[in-house]
Structure 1
Amino acid sequence: MFTEAQLYSPVTTGVDGDVTVHLSDQHPGVHDPEYRARRNAIAALALDYRPGAPVPPIDYTDEEQEVWRIVSVELARKRERYACAEVIEAADRLGLPSDHIPQLDEVATKLVPLTGFRYVPAAGLVPLREFFGSFADRTFHSTQYIRHHSAPLYTPEPDAIHEILGHANQLASPRFAALYETVGAAVARLETEQALKFLADVFWFSLEFGVLREHGEVRCYGAGLLSSYGEIEEFRDADLRPLDIHAMGTIDYDITHYQPVLYCAESIGEIEDVVGGFFETMTDETVARMVGVKPA
């Protein structure tokens, strides 16, 4: 099973203003009342956030801090072994702490001088247009909650470990950050849900689950792989196919399992040319032609 970034738990606000995060029956924390209360409180802070205001700090518990320390050390080891040089060097420049969970403002303080990206809080799922569109302003919407302490190396949904150890280490690279910004610019041109979904799927198979060849080995650069303790060990066994925008935007896939098909670039330059080139020029019409449907 795919252990990172499966599904966001739905978040609702009742008529009395109480915020509730609806964990699935299989979630490790579903039967822990203290964890559920924490999730509700953290989500409420994110929902109260307004652009331009200071990001609300989270008073993380000792258990949450210990989860971060365990996962941070383990993923750093795997990153050195399995990530591409561009990500390893970017992570070294960013220098995220391993002894405590960084607040989102702390992440931004480290990231802005490198690539201009800053982090803002998200309670859970952010609509695609808002999430991807914010990249144009070099803004990344991030959750702030931490997975349940009973399973530190597993999460059924994206948490701060995925958002920070996966995406921030990637966004610390000027080359990858430029690709994100290109995605944001593309969203501003798109009007159809079909084109937006196509963009999200190409992003999934590149900046979330992208791999490349480097010095005779297959290495990863996608944030979903960088933050998955399990899948980062397994991606080389996937069906590795050449970059193909049409295939990446139309293939059926299951986000709840390890990805059986990945698209492998020969270099970062090829990612920039093929994936970045597509994002730079894509429109509703070009996507409609690629999927064989004429725009209305």
Structure 2
Amino acid sequence: MTDTTSTPKNRYADALRAADFTIDQDWASYSTAEHDRWDRLFRRQRDVTKGRACQTALNAMATLELSASGIPDMDNLSDRLEAITGWRIVPVAELVPDEVFFNHLANRRFPAGAFIRPEAEFDYLQEPDIFHDIFGHVPMLANPVFADFMEAYGKGGQRAMQLGQLHNLARLYWYTVEFGLIREASGLRIYGAGILSSPNETVFALEADSPNRNAFDLPRVMRTKYIIDDFQQTYFVIDSFEALLEACYKDFGSVYADVKGMPDFEPHEISLGDDILHRGTLAYFHKRKAGL
């Protein structure tokens, strides 16, 4: 969440920022090539997520009129989203400081990167661009329960900073908002934005034998490290968005007290108390470590 480093590929690097770090998207300034890049990213990921994304996300993409017809205008998209759950999308140049991020979420504003990845990084980009943020995050904000969870997370972030427990809360965001799986009647499905916006991880998270898939447990998640630059070694599975909200819609003070001082789990580690839905082989990660 905290990283205000600009890179040459980000054409918003020198954009005028308001006090809350928002900028003018200046939608008319996107080039034909940038709109075409969005269209190709959208078509590819729309096809990959069929039968893999949760029904909530798929339905919301239609309701919000996300399509392969150029980069969305955030103001127009916000008007459609606000009518459903009261959320708006605000453009930013890059990742914003934690306190700014939490304040936006607590007030039902999602800060989305306005730049689109360069062609050279079409398949993978480490920092979130407009495709990751809009395709991955925004559809879930059209779900009233998940929208409430995100607002609660923003308010919880402000509290976590005061208590010095931000690292624990960040893990909750990572393993739910970014890389969460959900059980549906038809099987496991994806709702995390980091998976939804990645063609390779969309397949890997659901179908590969390599990663662990565990039932969601709040203290366990808060004690689990994560991988930033590769597929996840463990995914956590929720039963419903209502169950996620119920588990997290509270003051985390007692939870922080319970996990404080407890050892962290490595991303691949299995604990005796885990509800394991699939014990991974970790074959992919062993090969990576061996340089194969």
The residue aligned with 1:291 is 260
TM-score, structure 2 normalization: 0.80
Q: Does 1:72 align with 2:42?
A: yes
Q: Partner of 1:81: helix, strand, or coil?
A: coil
TM-score, structure 1 normalization: 0.79
Verify the 8 A CA contact 1:128 1:196 in the aligned structure 2: no
Q: Partner of 2:111: helix, strand, or coil?
A: strand
Q: Which amino acid aligns with 2:232?
A: Q
Q: Structure 1 CA distance, aligned partners of 2:125 and 2:158?
A: 32
1:243-284 Cα deviation digits (max 9, x unpaired):
11122111122110100101112233322222x33xx2213x
Q: Where do residues 139-150 of structure 1 align in structure 2 (5 Å cutoff)?
A: 139-150=109-120
- Equivalent of 2:18 in 49, 69, 81: 49
Q: Partner of 2:199: helix, strand, or coil?
A: coil
The residue aligned with 2:237 is 264
Q: Does 1:87 align with 2:57?
A: yes
1:68-108 Cα deviation digits (max 9, x unpaired):
00011111122322111122122221112321101221221
Q: Structure 1 CA distance, aligned partners of 2:23 and 2:223?
A: 39
Q: Partner of 2:70: helix, strand, or coil?
A: coil
The residue aligned with 1:168 is 138
Q: Does 1:108 align with 2:81?
A: no
Residues 151 and 123 of structure 1, relative CA distance in 2, 3 Å threshold:
closer
Q: Partner of 1:63: helix, strand, or coil?
A: helix
- Equivalent of 2:91 in 106, 112, 121: 121
Q: Structure 1 CA distance, aligned partners of 2:219 and 2:22?
A: 40
The residue aligned with 1:136 is 106
Between 264-273 and 169-178, the greater mean CA deviation after superposition: 264-273
Q: Partner of 2:119: helix, strand, or coil?
A: coil
Between 77-86 and 223-232, the greater mean CA deviation after superposition: 77-86
Q: Does 1:154 align with 2:124?
A: yes
Q: Structure 2 CA distance, aligned partners of 1:252 and 1:184?
A: 21
Q: Structure 2 CA distance, aligned partners of 1:233 and 1:75?
A: 11
The residue aligned with 1:240 is 213
The residue aligned with 1:208 is 178
Q: 4+ runs of 1 displaced by more than 6 Å? A: none
Q: Partner of 1:213: helix, strand, or coil?
A: strand
Aligned residues: CA RMSD: 2.4
Residues 286 and 246 of structure 1, relative CA distance in 2, 3 Å threshold:
closer
Q: Structure 1 CA distance, aligned partners of 2:22 and 2:224?
A: 40
Q: Does 1:281 align with 2:251?
A: yes
Verify the 8 A CA contact 1:49 1:55 in the aligned structure 2: no
Q: Which amino acid aligns with 2:236?
A: Y
Residues 72 and 8 of structure 1, relative CA distance in 2, 3 Å threshold:
farther
Verify the 8 A CA contact 2:216 2:237 in the aligned structure 1: yes
Verify the 8 A CA contact 2:179 2:191 in the aligned structure 1: yes
| Cα drift, residue 223 of structure 1 | 1.1
Unaligned runs of 5+ in 2: 263-292
Q: Partner of 2:258: helix, strand, or coil?
A: helix
Q: Structure 2 CA distance, aligned partners of 1:62 and 1:52?
A: 27
Q: Which amino acid aligns with 1:269?
A: E
Q: Which amino acid aligns with 2:83?
A: P
Unaligned runs of 5+ in 1: 1-6, 12-20, 23-35
Q: Partner of 2:14: helix, strand, or coil?
A: helix
Q: Partner of 1:43: helix, strand, or coil?
A: coil
The residue aligned with 1:226 is 196
Query: RCO greater where, 1 or 2, for CA within 8 Å and sep 6 or more?
Result: 1
User: Sequence identity of aligned pairs in percent?
Assistant: 28
Q: Structure 2 CA distance, aligned partners of 1:53 and 1:257?
A: 29
Q: Structure 2 CA distance, aligned partners of 1:196 and 1:9?
A: 15
Q: Partner of 1:169: helix, strand, or coil?
A: helix
Verify the 8 A CA contact 2:213 2:235 in the aligned structure 1: yes
